[in-house]
Amino acid sequence: MTDSAGIPGGTDAAGGTEKPPSGRRRRRLLRWAGLGTGMLVVAGTAAGWWVYSKLDGNIAEDTSAAAELRRYDKERPAHLAGGAQNILLIGSDSRTGKGNARYGQDKGTQRSDTTILLHLPADRKSATAVSIPRDLMTEIPACLKQDGSRSSEQFAQFNWAFEWGGTACTVRTVEALTGIRVDHHMVLDFSGFKKMVDAVGGVEVCLRQPVSDTEAKLKLPAGRQTLQGEQALGFVRARHSLGNGSDTERMERQQAFLGSLVKKVQSNGVLLNPARLYPLLDAATSSVTTDPGLSSLRGLYELVRGVRDIPTDQIKFLTVPRRPYAANLNRDELREPDASQLFRRLRADEPLTIAPPEATATPAPASRPGEDREEAAADDNGADDKADGATDSATDGTASDTGDVPGTAEPSTPVPTFTGTTAGVADCR
């Protein structure tokens, strides 16, 4: 027996026993139940498809860069390590687009405010993010400009590549500089950066001193604090009011911030929590412009899935080894043989370790003029494989680890240590 709500086998309002429904009525109830269940399934499927379509449609595909890169495909470096991936992350300082005009006048130009080469090894047990200084002097190839003309090949500071020829020119410049094939690229503007920081609920930083920077629209007390989107953008862009005002310190601050962002995403279970993941995906997909290979939700998901389980102490950040440019001390040039060694390790998908400056050894002497180009040429022919063990002893202010590989009789090839940090480190900047 049940209650008096007309349930079969229960009692009616008068206290009598209600008769069970007839066969016809039972079939009618089952049909309605089936119809209701079906509608729920359809509604759930439709909602899921709407979410997927919205996120997938957010992503802007950079078809012009893809076409320009295909034009020069035969000149680009070959893939040397199967399964490894190299992704160029570009932070644009363009004032065009919604929300970006407030950071300056739009003069129809743009430069790469931040450029990071992200190397993902084949085993996906680590990740290495290499910052390329915006003021680094390098060869920039002839590139297609926005007006349809072509620039001439020039020796200039690195971020002019984005100014002259956009993403494709930057990719080709990085490839010529490093000998590393760039598999994918992503461009993020000011507004997109802020949206991603807000989507994860802010990112924690720690300041040794208070900051007041009117140009970066930033005013912060000293100590540990959580920055929201607008503050975070000012923090990673500030140059004149933090430290010695150099771009070097700004890159280190950007690396520390990205490390904190990674740690925040992993510790909060964002990638495994749909309620938290959707806002992040919506912010990310609506904020980036990518090559065709990453211009779908599936493409981005495959990328994230490959790195989400990497321990924070294996997510490494460093800057291309460089020194003041002899002809203009306000610019940088590569420090050799350190830079060539770093590029060679990444090309071959070989390990490297990261340590803070105080834990590294005395820098190796700089190479003779042209030495880095000779090393690169030898590497392309596979001639430098035997030399690795001899040159990896101390670079970029580093010492190497010469321990044995377990299970082998021979000592391992020395693993160089470069100056940098990891996502597992959190200290005051």
What CATH number is given to the structural domain containing 158?
3.30.420.590
The pLDDT of residue 384: 37
The pLDDT of residue 279: 80
Are 357 and 363 in contact, with CB atoms under 8 Å apart?
no
CA atoms of 287 and 59, how far apart (whole Å): 7
Are 242 and 213 in contact, with CB atoms under 8 Å apart?
yes
Same domain, 37 and 114: no
Are 398 and 418 in contact, with CB atoms under 8 Å apart?
yes
Q: Which residues in the chain land under pLDDT 50?
A: 1-2, 4-7, 40-47, 50, 95-97, 99-106, 108, 361-411
Sign of CA dihedral 81, 77, 176, 341: positive
Q: Report cis status (omega within 30 of 0) of the bond before 8.
A: no
Same domain, 71 and 47: no
Give a yes or no: residue 206 inside a domain. Answer: no
CA atoms of 242 and 249, how far apart (whole Å): 8
Same domain, 128 and 169: yes
Same domain, 72 and 179: yes
CA atoms of 156 and 162, how far apart (whole Å): 12
Same domain, 118 and 179: yes
Edge-to-edge, what's the strand order for the sheet holding 60-61? 60-61, 288-290, 184-188, 85-92, 112-120, 127-131, 315-319, 417-422, 353-355
Give a yes or no: residue 165 inside a domain. Answer: yes
The length of the chain, given as a count of residues: 429
Which helix (H) or strand (E) segment holds residue 319: the answer is strand 315-319
CA atoms of 383 and 422, how far apart (whole Å): 32
Same domain, 161 and 304: yes
Kind of pairing between the strands at 85-92 and 60-61: unpaired
Hey, how many other C-beta atoms are within 10 angstroms of the C-beta on 264? 18
Alpha helices (H) along 268-370: 274-285, 297-307, 338-347
> How many structural domains is the chain composed of?
2
CA atoms of 316 and 125, how far apart (whole Å): 11
Give a yes or no: residue 272 inside a domain. Answer: no
CA atoms of 224 and 263, how far apart (whole Å): 15
Quickly list DSSP for 216-278. TTEEE-SEEEEE-HHHHHHHHH--SSSTTS-HHHHHHHHHHHHHHHHHHHHHTTGGG-HHHHH
Same domain, 53 and 151: no
Are 154 and 140 in contact, with CB atoms under 8 Å apart?
yes
Give a yes or no: residue 109 inside a domain. Answer: yes
The pLDDT of residue 361: 43
Same domain, 68 and 105: yes
- pLDDT tens digits, 121-135: 999 999 999 999 999
Give a yes or no: residue 378 inside a domain. Answer: no
Give a yes or no: residue 99 inside a domain. Answer: yes
Give the angle 10-11-13 at the CA atoms, nearest 5°.
140
Residue 391 one-letter amino acid = T
Instruction: Indicate the residue among 276, 309, 334 that finishes a domain.
Output: 334
Instruction: Indicate the residue among 13, 42, 58 that finishes a domain.
Output: 58
CA atoms of 182 and 118, how far apart (whole Å): 9
Give a yes or no: residue 222 inside a domain. Answer: no
Same domain, 117 and 158: yes
Hey, how many other C-beta atoms are within 10 angstroms of the C-beta on 347? 23
Same domain, 82 and 29: no
40-78 in b/e form (b: 16+ CB < 10 A) is: eeeeeeeeeeeeeeebeebbeebeebbebbeeeeeeeee
Q: Which residue is it, tokens 């956009």?
A: 166
Same domain, 65 and 169: yes
What are the angstrom distances between the C-alpha of 11 and each of 16, 18, 23?
5, 5, 20
Give a yes or no: residue 261 inside a domain. Answer: no
Rounded to 10 deg, the angle between the 338-347 and 160-178 helix axes is: 80
Quickly list DSSP for 103-145. GS---S---EEEEEEEEE-TT-S-EEEEE--TTBEEEE---B-
Which residue, 154, 181, 177, 179, is CA-closest to 165? 154
Same domain, 72 and 163: yes
Domain that holds residue 326: 61-189+287-334
The pLDDT of residue 427: 67
